[in-house]
Amino acid sequence: MNNTQWEKRSERVLEAVSFSSLIPNLFAGFTTKQGGTSKFPYSSLNLGFHVGDEQQDVQQNRHLVAKDIGFPLDQWIGSEQIHSSTIVEVTRGDAGRGAANLDTAIKQSDGLYTNEKGILLTSLYADCVPLYFVAKNAQYIALCHAGWQGTVKQIGPKLVGLWIRNYQIELSDIHVLIGPSISQQHYEVNEPVIEQVDRVLPAREEKPYESTRPGHYLLDLPKLNQLLLLKVGLKAEQIHMSDMCTFEEDAFFSHRQAQGMTGRMMSAIGFKKG
């Protein structure tokens, strides 16, 4: 397992520098909640159109991030995010979709991938797990949104299988970054969730949860994603882990901590032109 090095591009943007360096001209990053224009309870760098914030504030926040990372807003692509395992290939023809409003986003999907330059794959978070993928030699990238539902639907392993099956990408060519998300000690779930976790992990395998009280468990969602990726054949050194918790760290929005009324951070990955 690799621990990912993050570097501040600005108060708004953290870049996963060790992961970005896997391919020339690659950017992989995650935003904070700082340095934006949104008002309470979305203060201040909310990037989600769907949470009740003023649309013009979200658009302004996105323009600020675009300047920080060097990807104009008309190169961004976002998806609707419905906690599915649906993954969609995107091209330059999709550039701008979901960037300035939610209506134009890629419908009913939680995963995006491409091999084209000059577009930025984006996804929104406030505790769920961002999964970033690169195929170094094949020059493909992907981004998947993995809450507990997407995780037990195996969106990460599904992306790996899709690449291998459709593009003959070697398993050894794929690297995955499991980005900032809620940590185990702050993520309590109930028995029905754990039943679904047990369905995707055989009984003898390591369990990414522990019981707290009858019918309740602390679930390590990043660990669950890691175990599922190892299960499909990725080696530990191909999986890069973040140790940042969105619940604990003041720099991030947390849906759990704010009891549902909060903004969204953005994960992003893209090849720059040139």
Lowest mean pLDDT: which of 1-15, 17-31, 85-99, 123-137? 1-15
User: What is the model's pLDDT at position 1?
Assistant: 59
Q: What is the pLDDT of residue 108?
A: 96
pLDDT at residue 4 above 90? no
Q: Which residues contact 202 (CB under 8 A, 6 or more apart)?
A: none
- Residue closest to 51 by CA, chosen among 38, 62, 64: 38
Radius of gyration of the chain (CA): 17
Domain 2-271 has CATH 3.20.20.70: no
Of the candidates 38, 50, 51, 41, the residue with the CA atom closest to the CA atom of residue 12: 38
pLDDT at 64 over 80: yes
pLDDT for 206 equals 87
CA distance 78 to 106: 6
Q: How confident is the model at residue 205 (pLDDT cuts 50, 70, 90)?
A: confident
Q: Tell me the whole-structure pTM to 2 decimals.
A: 0.97
pLDDT of residue 274: 64
Q: What is the pLDDT of residues 67-87, one digit of tens each?
A: 999 999 999 999 999 999 999
pLDDT at 253 over 90: yes
Q: Angle CA(120)–CA(125)–CA(130) in degrees, nearest 5?
A: 65
270: how many CB neighbours lie within 10 A of its CB? Answer: 26
Q: Domain ranges in the chain?
A: 2-271
Query: Could you give the 3-state DSSP secondary structure of residue 157?
Result: helix
Confidence band, pLDDT 50/70/90 cuts, at residue 3: confident
Question: pLDDT tens digit string along 112-126?
Answer: 999 999 999 999 999
Is the predicted pLDDT of residue 260 greater than 90, yes or no?
Answer: no
Share of the chain above pLDDT 70, in %: 99
Residue of 215, 221, 150, 143 lying closest to 184 (CA atoms): 221
